[in-house]
């Protein structure tokens, strides 16, 4: 169990906290919360009861139409926001382990939210051979559940990546011209 999960009581509560902190202006239904955090609906319901009782989350509507959102008047919201944002990260080996089942991965580059830059178009760039997009999308959704925020990613066959790099593709320039971190490079950048 992650150290923060021990502090906050459970990994489920930590996932919900991250989701709410990173999406403070959004309201979520129980089904959306369950889907985004990859948790069972009963677990989400139990943790929501505690977060609502603490005053961090407020409920709007009733029954199936109920939406849950961060209470902007929660007295410790700013401190919690700072703590969660500064302590939330995914280890590089976890990212590589999650996406390696998608095919023969040759290049993995982190940018955007992984480097503290919110403006770039993508957060994760992947190049490889025989990539299975469905498996890759599932792996990224799993990472999103851990992080509590959406990950914008792009994947290319190795030949397509080399071509795009050769013609100075704008998407690739947005990644490589700004702060980025190369996790895996079997192409030879």
pLDDT tens profile 114-145: 877 766 688 999 999 999 999 999 999 988 88
Rg, Å, the chain Cα set: 19
CA distance linking residue 67 with residue 61, whole number of Å: 6
CA dihedral 42, 43, 44, 47 (to 10 degrees): 120
Which of 79, 163, 154, 141 minimizes the C-alpha distance to 112? Answer: 154
**What's the pLDDT score for residue 7?**
61
Write the pLDDT tens digit of every residue in 143-173.
888 888 888 999 999 999 999 999 999 999 9
Within 100-188, where are the H helices? 133-147, 158-166, 170-176
Please tell me the distance from the alpha carbon of residue 17 to that of residue 80, in angstroms, as a whole number.
Answer: 9
Q: How confident is the model over 6-30, as pLDDT tens digits?
A: 667 888 898 899 889 888 888 999 9
What distance lies between CA 99 and its chain's CA centroid?
14
CA distance 30 to 63: 10
Model confidence over 26-70: pLDDT tens digits?
Answer: 899 999 999 988 899 999 999 999 898 888 999 988 877 889 999
Task: For the sheet with 124-129, list strands across it.
Answer: 153-157, 124-129, 104-110, 181-185
Domain ranges of the chain: 3-87, 92-185
| Token pair belonging to 35 | 């889907």
The answer to whether 131 and 99 are in contact (CB under 8 A) is no
Give pLDDT, residue 117.
Answer: 72
- Global confidence as pTM: 0.73
Query: How would CATH label the architecture of 3-87?
Result: Orthogonal Bundle (1.10)
pLDDT for 2 equals 57
Strand bridging mode 181-185 / 57-60: unpaired
């Amino acid at each position: 169990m992650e150290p923060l999960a021990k502090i906050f009581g459970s990994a489920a509560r930590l996932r919900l906290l991250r989701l709410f902190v990173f999406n403070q202006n959004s309201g979520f239904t129980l089904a959306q919360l369950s889907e985004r955090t990859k948790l069972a609906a009963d677990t989400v319901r139990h943790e929501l009861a505690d977060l609502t009782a603490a005053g961090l989350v407020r409920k709007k509507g009733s029954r199936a139409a109920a939406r849950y959102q961060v209470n902007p008047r929660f007295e410790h919201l700013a401190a919690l926001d700072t703590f969660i944002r500064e302590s939330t990260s995914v280890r590089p080996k976890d990212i590589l382990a999650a996406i390696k089942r998608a095919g023969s991965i040759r290049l993995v580059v982190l940018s955007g939210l992984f480097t503290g830059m919110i403006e770039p178009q993508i957060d994760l760039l992947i190049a490889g051979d025989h990539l299975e997009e469905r498996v890759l999308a599932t792996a990224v959704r799993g990472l999103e559940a851990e992080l509590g925020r959406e990950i914008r990613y792009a994947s290319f066959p190795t030949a397509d990546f080399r071509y795009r790099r050769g013609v100075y593709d704008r998407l690739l320039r947005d990644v490589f011209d700004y702060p980025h971190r190369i996790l895996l490079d079997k192409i030879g950048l």
